[in-house]
Structure 1
Amino acid sequence: MGMAAVSFEMGSGASRTDWDATSLELLATTLERWQLTPGQTLTGGVSALVLEVTQANGSPAVLKLGFPHVEAIGEALGLEAFGPELAPRVLRQDAWTWALLLESVMPGTSLLDPELAMDDALAAAAALHTRLTARRAPGGIPTLASAMSHYSRGAVSRLPAQLPALESLGVAELVRAGIAQLGSLAADDVPPVLLHGDFNPNNVLRSGDGWRVIDPKPLVGDPAYDLWPLVAQLPGETLRYRVGRMAELTGLSAERIVAWGLVRTALDVSWALEDGLDAEAQAASLREWSALTQS
């Protein structure tokens, strides 16, 4: 598929404190430079400023100013690789300021739309995932194995300090085992494909009569990796049902979906503790994923 092995060990070296201090100035400069009129601010998570804008020709667009971090390095590459049928067009970009001007996706409701039945959301996501992973991966996209190695080293280094909290939550062994499996699971002999990298329900938006993805953190690797946030975050039915249904719809192994769900939730517990959260919800989710491996 023309995939070059690219390391995940790349970063901007930017300080989050410095970026927070200068982001509004950067926004004003970008709006002026690209002749954009600002509109409503959109939810961009903790790693970006995102807002609706109007271009000089009167057409709508979305401006995204990202905090320089390793996961976002390939965002524009990913969007362009997925193509305009599956993702918004990149209208302009500035690699130096991590600015992207993107096509608006309308109406832009996500898979968490309360009017969308859970089974319909699963079917839409599965069909989209199949089309995304069929796209040719461009050069410059990090490998899943490289990303998991990076995450694993960080999680292992945090374990000693987090052990008392993990024992209190009752998931110390599950987290330890999950982190230990990150690298080996990514190294399994599975045909590599282009991954979205953050295929959660809020990143799948209705576009006309179809669906498109936003905010990719692209990787190249096992297609089952992508499905954890989707089946974990969609409401309704049981986790076992959602995993089984997604396996049927995508043709992927339910066992691999569960394996990735387990190790990624273990990593999620570690990250939650690092961020100063109590991690109760993440620990409960980890026990739920672990239960799927027991039968």
Structure 2
Amino acid sequence: MNEIFPAEWEVSSPEILAGTVTSRITKVRLRSGAPAIVKALTPIGMKDELPGVHYLDWHKGCGAIRVLAIKANLLLLEYAGKRTLLDHLNEFGDEAATAISVEVLSKLLNTPHHDRSFATDLIPIRRQFARLFIKAERDRNDRTESLFVEAARIADDLMNNPVDVQPLHGDVHHENILFGDRGWLIIDPKGLLGDPMYDAANMFYNPLDRQDLRASEARIAAMARTFSHAFDRDIRTILSYSMAHAALSASWHMEDENLEEAARSLEVARAVQNVLASLV
């Protein structure tokens, strides 16, 4: 134990939960007996995941898990629970899950910050969209008026006119929202910087294995109205971020030559595009 975790943390009962190229996740017990998570970052994780840590630190437990301690490449994190929002959706339906996502996102949006500065390593949202802009430029050069070209134009316009720029989670989905002792909390942020409606837009694209929901124009329209009312933002902005995010995902999949997933992502983008067109 002392060789793996800092002695001053006084953690026990380690149980490895997962391992990736960026980290190893271990569930432990604090001195009080409460569960916690130790996240051991790999060299890749030290590069890729620290912006997310700074995102959590900025929120200080408001809607997100708390960072309890940091030492070298080890993070001691609050345990969020094991019931996911996807579990809740499967049991109570999509509308109930959407209502909870509004609750969590509202807490994140309303984190008291008192003009605290943002971490310098948060990733500007424009950089997040780099592959979409590259794909759109290739299509323009080929004189192809693709959905990527339209989505890139929309994304560029959104990023030129941001509102309430703040730290963003960057990967909001049903399996990153968990229920525990403090209610519903979000985990595993990427740590971006931009308009918070990008985080809301991620929900349209999820759950990943529910194409019947993701590509449903009725669901897209209903979710957009819910978010627009909850966050007091223009419904077009929310839908535009949603379309741009789906096209961004498609550009990532095309780069990986995963054409099946790219097609699924484009189906979502077209469905959102149709809902946007219906507002004219």
TM-score, normalization by structure 1: 0.73
**CA deviation after TM superposition for structure 1 residue 92, in Å:** 2.0
Deviation of 1:159 after TM superposition, in Å, equals 5.5
The more displaced of 73-82 and 61-70 is 61-70
Verify the 8 A CA contact 2:15 2:27 in the aligned structure 1. Answer: yes
Verify the 8 A CA contact 2:163 2:195 in the aligned structure 1: yes
8 Å contact 1:201–1:229 — kept in the other structure? no
Are 1:243 and 1:258, in contact at CA under 8 Å, matched by a contact in 2? Answer: yes
Moved more, 56-65 or 262-271: 56-65
- Counterpart CA distance in 1 for 2:236 and 2:151 is 15
Aligned residues: 257
- Aligned counterpart in structure 2 of residue 88 of structure 1, from 65, 71, 86: 65
Q: Is 1:116 matched up with 2:99?
A: no
Counterpart amino acid of residue 272 in structure 1: H
Matches within 5 A, 1:85-164: 85-94=62-71, 96-97=72-73, 99-106=74-81, 108-113=82-87, 114-135=90-111, 136=113, 138-141=116-119, 147-158=124-135
Relative to structure 1, is the Cα distance of residues 39 and 79 closer, same or farther in structure 2, using a 3 angstrom cutoff?
A: same
Equivalent residues of 2:131, 2:251 under 8 A apart:
no
| Unpaired stretches in structure 1, ≥5 consecutive residues | 1-27
2:245 corresponds, among 264, 269, 286, to: 264
Do residues 183 (structure 1) and 156 (structure 2) align?
A: yes
Contact 1:48 1:65 in 2 (8 A): yes
Tell me: CA distance 1:179–1:49, structure 2 relative to 1, closer, same or farther (3 Å): farther
**Aligned 8 A contact 1:142 1:218 in 2:** no
**Amino acid aligned to 1:213:** I
How far apart are 1:84 and its partner, in Å? Answer: 2.9
Look up the match of 1:50. Answer: 25
2:186 match: 213
Q: Deviations over 1:206-252 (max 9, x none)?
A: 12372111112233432211112213215656222222222223322
2:169 corresponds in structure 1 to: 196
Which sections of structure 2, spanning at least 5 residues, go unmatched? none
Distance 1:194 1:90, change over 3 A: same
SS in 1 for 2:267: helix
Contact preservation (8 Å) 2:136, 2:152: no
Question: What is the CA deviation profile of residues 121-140 of structure 1, one whole-angstrom value per residue up to 9, with x for unaligned ones?
Answer: 21121122112111227434
8 Å contact from structure 1 (residues 127, 249) kept in 2: no
Q: 1:91 to 1:218 in 2, by over 3 A?
A: same
TM-score (norm 2): 0.76
Percent identity, aligned pairs only, is 22
Distance 1:183 1:141, change over 3 A: farther
Partners of 1:190 and 1:140 in 2: CA distance: 16
Query: 2:37 is matched with which residue?
Result: 62
Give the conservation status (yes or no) of the 8 Å contact 1:142–1:219.
no
Partner Cα distance (2:185, 2:176) in 1: 8
The answer as to whether partners of 2:197 and 2:241 remain within 8 angstroms in 1 is: yes
Residues 277 and 55 of structure 1, relative CA distance in 2, 3 Å threshold: same
SS of 2:80's equivalent in the other structure is coil
Kept after mapping to 1: 8 A contact 2:58/2:118: no
Q: Is the contact made by 2:30 and 2:36 (CA closer than 8 Å) also made in structure 1?
A: yes
Residue 260 of structure 1 and its aligned partner are, at CA, apart by 0.3
Moved more, 255-264 or 28-37: 28-37
